[in-house]
Amino acid sequence: MDSRRDFLQKLTFSAIGLPLLTFSGLASAEATNLIYEQPYQGPVLRVAIMGLGSYGTRVAEAMQSSKKAKLVGVISGTPSKVKDWQAKYNIPAKNCYNYENFDAIKNNPDIDAVYVITPNALHHDQVIRVAKAGKHAICEKPMAINAKEGQEMVDACNKANVKLLVGYRLHFEPKTLEIIRMREAGEFGKIMFFQGLSGFTIGDPNQWRLNKQLAGGGAMMDIGIYSVNGARYMVGEEPVWVTAQETKTDPVKFKEGVDETIQFQFGFPSGAVASCLSTYSMSNLDRFFLNGTEGFAELHPATGYGPIKGRTHKGELTQPHQTHQTVQMDEMAAIILEGKKPVVPVDGEEGLKDLKIIDAIYLAAKTGKKVDLTV
């Protein structure tokens, strides 16, 4: 009804604004601007969200606008949240689980995939359980807390013949994809340098992100991974070495094993280099800059929920903003159900590469040595 009403309103406004428009002109205008959008009738990915916190809520809200993905179930350790989500999203009781009994999704044909949005250290076991239940797994980043765990997750999903995807929403972001297109077309010339700045001032000192047992680290595992991943898709290569330096100004808030600030540098096979910053103690840091012999590209903000803003040596990037999580879920549904190949991968192997690099960053920061990489 809303779509039909919007269509009629547009048609009325057009008629008012163009009183002398001929019938053929009206038909042409209708054909080009006022086409009634037919409802999507293809396959739909039925998703249960595991972890009903702030980001799980953001994903759930965004999925209400998805065409190819539908929220059909929840998994949570908080009964009151389950009850609230049931009422808000019309989720049947048979599709509601807790962390102890969710293996029973194996016998629920109404759930195709589980989106794991829990603290980092829980991803490994939860994704493997999802795979053993025969369901596709979508996992928030970082995929795990180290490469060893990540490899075990990839292996488990391969063994179960289910997909493992990682929540790299920016791999579908229009301005980001335009820069990748320009780079691949040679419009920047030879890529020489990338800078990634990822940071904010973190609040509550008691939150799980500052608990090594749950987070697996500190800023690097939460915000720094954006510059790790961004360096790879912006430059279009995999780094072959890394150096890193850690700075800690508040050892009370940032306890042992919880990094506050890390600067890190990459070298790439072509000779390009990257310089990046990951921090929990400085704000206004969300910028990517790519420099080549023939031009440049900048995203600022580069990784927030949007709108992303960008420019190149050719001018401002004007691709329209779309809710990242809505696009992500539609695209992931197409990957799982239709075999679609994204421009930038979002699979478990992609997540594993980031974990190998993060392991190397931590090692470089600890030892002060240059660490060679093979990802």
Concatenated DSSP letters for 42-86? Answer: S--EEEEEE--SHHHHHHHHHHTT-SSEEEEEEE-S-HHHHHHHH
pLDDT exceeds cutoff 70 at 302? yes
The residue type found at 131 is A
Distance of CA 341 to CAs 203, 234, 309, 329, Å?
38, 18, 26, 14
pLDDT exceeds cutoff 50 at 16? no
Query: Of the ranges 7-11, 128-132, 308-312, 350-354, which one carries the lowest mean pLDDT score?
Result: 7-11
pLDDT grade for 36, boundaries at 50, 70 and 90:
low
What is the reported pLDDT for 37? Answer: 65
Residues marked active site are found at 141, 226
pLDDT exceeds cutoff 90 at 35? no
pLDDT grade for 39, boundaries at 50, 70 and 90:
confident
What is the reported pLDDT for 149? Answer: 98
- What is the average pLDDT across 215-244? 98
The pTM of the full predicted model, rounded to 2 decimals, is 0.90
> Mean pLDDT score of the chain, rounded to an integer?
92
pLDDT exceeds cutoff 50 at 208? yes
The residue type found at 242 is V
pLDDT grade for 25, boundaries at 50, 70 and 90:
very low
pLDDT exceeds cutoff 50 at 44? yes
pLDDT exceeds cutoff 90 at 6? no
What is the reported pLDDT for 255? Answer: 97
